[in-house]
Structure 1
């Protein structure tokens, strides 16, 4: 079920995802889900990952923040049983909820938990954490930090063994455009959006969009709308087409 939910999330199959999530919610109440510690903890991890992903899909970031206290409580309770990477993935997803809801300062707080973790982690998580960190500071108008933060993202992207087309475009954008002149990036945002918009449904680009809905963020910049409104509009359009 976890793999199915991830696949449906990557492909933005809203209706099928909602059905699968409901089935998983029911399973989480079953005897099997709580028959031993491993099942109990795995159910917590996979179910809450799916719940957060659902909020990402439909643009209800603020609603998703209601999950955070319970998730943090369980992360502490299960600390001995969860590997650090799983915990930091939750921090990244929580940071993304705050970013989507417009609370960039709290987003930065969570992202820094990942950035400050000194043990080696997967480069993709470190890279996207730094990219989200950069974007949050941009939203806060901390332009004096942008060049330094862009170099950090650039450094981690250069370590990734393979880059998708979207990641290559983002890599070039950060290297060539995201600098101290960041206040005047409207044209650059539009150009980047035009280059990657057509890749939104490409199954080979799922890693980039699973970590960060960069297209919706770019659209929020280009069309001067909050990011959550952009995502909600896409969701409503998909319902009308269904």
Structure 2
């Protein structure tokens, strides 16, 4: 049987999305297990990106809280941090991706 290799970057993204989904579903017991294993997987790769470190910094803080309001507040802070990082990344791509600012106009 042929072994199928999944791209590591896609696998990392899916694991993080799975973590977020289980947080939103309120699966706290499963979330602790998933967080440990996902972090272990990400750290084992060659590249453990700053964005992933930010996510786990927030998830570690969320897992330590028992108050749902505090958890929700931290999760909102995580979403804001992700949006900020994403907009910085997109701006860098537009400005430095090919040396020109991207244009949405057709030629």
TM-score band by shorter chain is 0.5 to 0.7
Task: Give the counterpart of 2:73 among 187, 196, 208.
Answer: 187
Task: Give the counterpart of 2:20 among 135, 142, 155.
Answer: 135
The separation in 1 between residues aligned to 2:18 and 2:80, in whole angstroms, is 23
Conserved in 2, the CA contact under 8 Å of 1:166 and 1:205? no
SS at match of 2:87: coil
Aligned residues: 89
Unaligned runs of 5+ in 2: 93-107
| Structure-2 change in CA distance of 1:159 and 1:120 (3 Å) | farther
Conserved in 2, the CA contact under 8 Å of 1:199 and 1:205? no
Task: Give the counterpart of 2:53 among 162, 168, 173.
Answer: 168
Query: If you compute each CA radius of gyration, which structure gives the higher value, 1 or 2?
Result: 1
TM-score normalised to the size of structure 1? Answer: 0.30
The separation in 2 between residues aligned to 1:182 and 1:132, in whole angstroms, is 22
Greater relative contact order (CA < 8 Å, ≥ 6 in sequence): 1
Q: Which has the higher helix share?
A: 1
TM-score normalised to the size of structure 2? Answer: 0.58
